[in-house]
Copies of this chain bind each other. A is one copy, B any other.
Amino acid sequence: MKINAFSDVCLRVVMLLAGEPSADLMTTAVIAERVGTPYNHVSKAVIQLRELGLVESVRGRAGGVRISAAGRGVTAGWLLRKLDTRSDVAECESPHGDCPLRDGCGLRGALRRARGAFYAELDDVVIAALAPRRHSGTVPVNVTLRSLAETVR
């Protein structure tokens, strides 16, 4: 089982932006490079995340995207539920043909309940709290000093 590709990209974008120590703006092109995903996929993800209020964007030459306050608090469960538009966990109904067993099939409901358990497990998981820090490991000295200054402040 897996989450869909679009949810995957959205999670990566939120994690990346939430992991930024400051509220610096980041262009979609930079985000795409940093999450290892094609530009057009990331662009769609950013639009969706903005509609959900999880990121803010600033237009213009110096513009870009940054995480919002809501984005810093969003849980993986909430976001994945919002992005999951499928009615069934299995392919009970598909453009290629519906499952002939679907009438009277009790498994469909059981799979939906299992999906509920999957999301419930992620309802306490704040994405920002799990994001890898950008400047962990070996870092340039100026960054370390800036971080230090922020810690002291």
Identical copies in the complex? 2
**What residues of chain B lie closer than 8 Å to A103, measured between beta carbons?**
132
Known contacts A36-B100, A98-B36: does B121 contact A117 (CB below 8 Å)?
Answer: yes
The answer to whether A105 and B122 touch across the interface, beta carbons within 8 angstroms, is no
Q: Among residues 8 to 51 in chain A, which have CB atoms less than 8 Å away from a CB atom of chain B?
A: 8, 11-12, 15-16, 19, 34-36
Which of A53-61, A65-73, A106-114, A144-152 participates in binding chain B? A106-114
Q: Tell me, yes or no, whether A90 is within 8 Å of chain B by CB.
A: yes
Q: Tell me, yes or no, whether A74 is within 8 Å of chain B by CB.
A: no
Extra contacts besides A1-B118, A36-B97 (8): CB < 8 Å: A1-B3, A1-B84, A2-B4, A12-B101, A16-B101, A76-B107, A104-B136, A107-B131
